A and B are shown apart, each in its own frame.
Chain A
Amino acid sequence: MKKSWLTLILLSCFIILTLVFFVYATNDFACTFIQSTSCPAGTVRLIGLENDTEGFNNAHAQNGSTATYNYSVCCNVTDNASITITDGCPGNVTVLKLNATSNSHVEIGTNTNYSYSVCLSSDWKHISCSFPTGTCGSQACVLSMSGSEGTNSSNAHVGNCSAYDQKVCCSLDNNAPTQPTLYHPNNGNTTVFYRRPNFNWSTCTDTDNDPVDYTINITCGGSCPGYCPDVNVDSISTTNYTLTSPLCVDWRYNWTVSACDPYDLCNTSNEFNFNITSEAVLVLLVNQTTFGSLDNDEHDNTSDDNPAPFVARNLGNVLLNVTVNASTLFISQPLNTVYYQYMADDNESGPSDSFDLTCSQTTFANMQASAAVIFCNMSYEDANDEGEIELGLTIPPDEGAGDRSSLIKIGSIATEP
């Protein structure tokens, strides 16, 4: 029996302590009545007050800067001294209105009968006030008021929080921006082509009128290879974002956007997913050429663009290895001789630096019947996705007269993912 009583007492203590902590944690803004014409450093004087007997209940009020009354209502943030509360108007909120700068009746800040406003502001988050009858709930009680002519919310005297039913309650608040709605790439989209897609979402607003910026978070998941890193970009001021580095193909990406205010209070969108499906597309912008008439031992090649070289373009969204092989050209000489050659070159009249020079064939090599790499890791980026396939001919000394032709196969295979 004794043990159960002890348990009950301990449990009650725990609940009370938890409640006290919770109330304290949510009421970091506070106003106190002080018997002084001024407020201590770190607090701001909301109003001065005094009654006929020089007490603080049923009192008249004066504004904060008129320092003649014996009592002051002093406000501050109790758990963070670096937050400064000021009383300039309009401020975050009009707490009260006075009919004179001193010896004044008061009305609640939302009324419009009196012309002298008493305001509060904070340099971190916002102060908001409400004027309930009864209790303040989660807000801090600033003062209470009572009128003698049927209404307590105007033409009233001031007292401490336990004096009257009409309360003035304030708190330091901040509201998150509205939740973003994701637009593009839409959820489940598997037809995204560009490796640097443009992401866009709805404009978010903030009820506190705080500026809103956005953070985009694009994740590929733990099973994604290391070369497909997650993307997290913050401080985006617009409602769209284009990636600066390409994403990987054929992996499912999840993306969210968080709308955040300057106090890092954010609202995150629902998660969308998409997939960039790989496409390998090689186009020959020029796919036929002719050398005209050449004599025995005469050499000509397409590197001076006369005759025209073949021009290849990577129109897909993956790196390509491009190979070349051809049918026999001469009667007197087989393939894989110096008489019929090929090489990779930049397209001088178009994008350049389109392929990896360390593994591409950048000097003339003998044309073969089997495929050999000409462009290695040919880029898909629009700015550098073209290359020239140069042909070089030397007519063999014993080649007879007549027309010659060759069919050239340009093979293409993706080198990623």
Chain B
Amino acid sequence: MRTKIKTKSIALCLIISFMLFNSIVLVSALGVSPVSKTVDFEPNTDVELTFNIINSQRNNVNAILTGFGELSDMIFLEEKTVAVKASDDRKPFRVILRFPSEMEPGIHKGGVEITPEIPETEKNMFLAYVAQSLTLSVRVPYPSKYTIITLTVLDVDEGIPLPVYVEFDNLGSEDILKAGAQVELYNPDDVLIDTLTAPEISLEKNTLGKTQAKSDTKPELYLTRGFYKAVVNAYYDDVEKRIDTNFTLGIPKVRIRELVTRTLGVDQVNKIMFLAYNDWNTELSVQGNVTMAGRHEAMPIFELEADQEKEITAFFDTTGLEPGQYNMSITLKYGKYTRTETFGVEIVKDLKLIERAPGIPLVAYILIIVLIIIIVIVAIILVKRRKTSGERKL
């Protein structure tokens, strides 16, 4: 009887162990909330912060917490391993920041990584797990007056006034009585578009303030999509700072305005010609490919200047494809963007190349017309002269 119970217990333990093993192995989601916290430096004090582990997949997991970054020496964890149960949607944990007597002025960053406890992997397996991190920032004020200045331009649709903000993050030990800025906006060719003025604001120490810069010449500032440069000439109390930065509005776009080649010959390498247009204000380097019937053919990289339309040639081998109607996709990649457009094309047996007859240049036409006019005028003059001389004879 006793042996039977023991056998049953071992079996149960094995089943539970197997279930636990599987549940731990399959931990593939971890989260944290909030994702960051910023605290002010207070010498020789402890700051206690609470975060939550998010167990979105409701697993049983032992989460191991590890401090990292330049704050790692100050990070103390109440529990280094947090047992998260399947019933826990969220599991709170505490992080203690133990500040020393002094720190260098500035913003110091560190964090805590949350890693699930993972057993040995199987022998022929690639197994991935998630390690989620949170960020901690400590603000240590600079002596006297000091601000971090940032230009923020919101990415709005064309036709909407452009919101431009100058932000002052007062990281000094004193209040700022007045902070303002002049902003110069330039196009990619360094041509000044407009100047803006950000009205003065005041800032208490350790606060962030923003002031909206408005055009000096127009009631509202409108810009089209594109890349722009900005120079911020900012000041706060007696300090002046210049910041050179840039920003984009919208995303670059290369349009295929027309697919010139609509008919392809069977069993041959076909030239595919199309008109590409760069709807952006800087040059773009474009690579791409032509896809039809599951086949991909890469095309040579080409450059398009700002607002330029260009005829592009790609090639596509139709060997083995039956004559008929097909959908041809042209995918263009430029920077981080991809654009695919699909066109209906036909593969035919006998591709007749309709070549335009060698045309007479327009200049030649004009010269011929001018020549005819001159001949006519000369003829009229000659006839008139002959008539005049005849009259005299009479």
Contact = CB atoms under 8 A, between A and B. Distances in A.
Interface in A237-263: 249-250
Contact of A229 (B32, B163, B337): B163
A277 B54 CA distance: 13
Contact of A279 (B29, B54, B115): B54
Say which size band chain B's interface belongs to. Answer: 35 or more
In the A-B complex, the 7 residue pairs with the smallest Cβ-Cβ separation, listed nearest first, are A226-B165, A281-B31, A357-B336, A226-B152, A403-B123, A414-B35, A284-B28
Interface stretch (B3-11, B204-212, B253-261, B354-362): B204-212
B366 interface: no
A322 B26 CA distance: 19
24 contacts: A277-B33, A277-B34, A279-B31, A280-B32, A280-B33, A280-B132, A282-B130, A283-B29, A283-B56, A287-B128, A288-B127, A290-B125, A316-B35, A389-B128, A404-B124, A405-B122, A405-B127, A406-B121, A409-B115, A410-B128, A412-B131, A412-B132, A413-B135, A414-B35
Interface string B152-167: 1010000000010111
Contact of A288 (B36, B125, B150, B154): B125
Interface string B113-145: 101001001111111111111110000000000
Contact of A358 (B124, B128, B129, B336): B336
Given A281-B54, A405-B123, A412 B133 contact: yes
Contact of A225 (B28, B122, B133, B152): B152
A416 B38 CA distance: 12
Contact of B154 (A227, A278, A358, A416): A227
A351 interface: no
B207 A223 contact: yes
Contacts of A391: 126
B36 A417 contact: yes
Contact of B133 (A224, A284, A353, A411): A411
A416 B137 CA distance: 13
A234 B135 CA distance: 38
A336 B15 CA distance: 40
Given A281-B56, A283-B28, A283-B57, A412 B33 contact: no
Nearest to B115: A409
B30 interface: yes
A229 B153 CA distance: 11
B390 interface: no
A252 to B, nearest CB: 13
Contacts of A318: 35
A285 B167 CA distance: 40
A53 B126 CA distance: 112
A137 interface: no
Given A281-B54, A284-B28, A310-B128, A414 B135 contact: yes
A150 interface: no
A161 B27 CA distance: 88
Contacts of A283: 28-29, 56-57, 130
A78 interface: no
Interface centre among A288, A404, A409 (most CB of B within 10 A): A288
B180 interface: no
B167 A226 contact: yes
Contacts of B335: 357-358
Contact of A287 (B28, B123, B124, B134): B28
B36 A409 contact: no
A43 to B, nearest CB: 40
Contacts of B210: 222, 224-226
A407 interface: yes
A290 B152 contact: no
B172 interface: no
A287 B31 contact: no
Interface string B87-131: 000000000000000000000000101010010011111111111
Nearest to B165: A226
A290 B128 contact: no
Nearest to A284: B28
Contact of B35 (A226, A280, A285, A389): A280
B126 A279 contact: no
A189 interface: no
A393 B56 CA distance: 32
Given A222-B209, A408-B126, 18 more contacts: A223-B207, A226-B150, A278-B35, A279-B32, A280-B31, A281-B32, A281-B56, A282-B30, A282-B31, A284-B29, A285-B28, A357-B335, A389-B128, A405-B126, A407-B128, A413-B132, A414-B135, A417-B35
Interface of A is mostly: loop
Contacts of A222: 209-210
Nearest to A227: B152
B126 A290 contact: yes
A280 to B, nearest CB: 4
Contacts of B133: 411-413
Contacts of A285: 28
A407 B33 CA distance: 26
Given A280-B31, A281-B54, A289 B126 contact: yes
Contacts of A281: 29-32, 54, 56, 132
A213 B121 CA distance: 61
A241 B371 CA distance: 74
B127 A282 contact: no
B135 to A, nearest CB: 7
A288 B126 contact: yes
A407 B31 contact: no
A315 interface: yes
Nearest to A389: B128
A284 B28 CA distance: 5
A356 interface: yes
Given A225-B167, A316-B31, A408 B36 contact: no
A257 to B, nearest CB: 23
A71 B208 CA distance: 71
Nearest to A391: B126
A287 B57 CA distance: 13
Given A280-B132, A356-B336, A315 B125 contact: no
A310 B36 CA distance: 27
A280 B30 CA distance: 8
Contacts of B154: 226-227, 229
Contacts of A409: 115, 128-129, 131
Nearest to A413: B133
Nearest to B118: A407
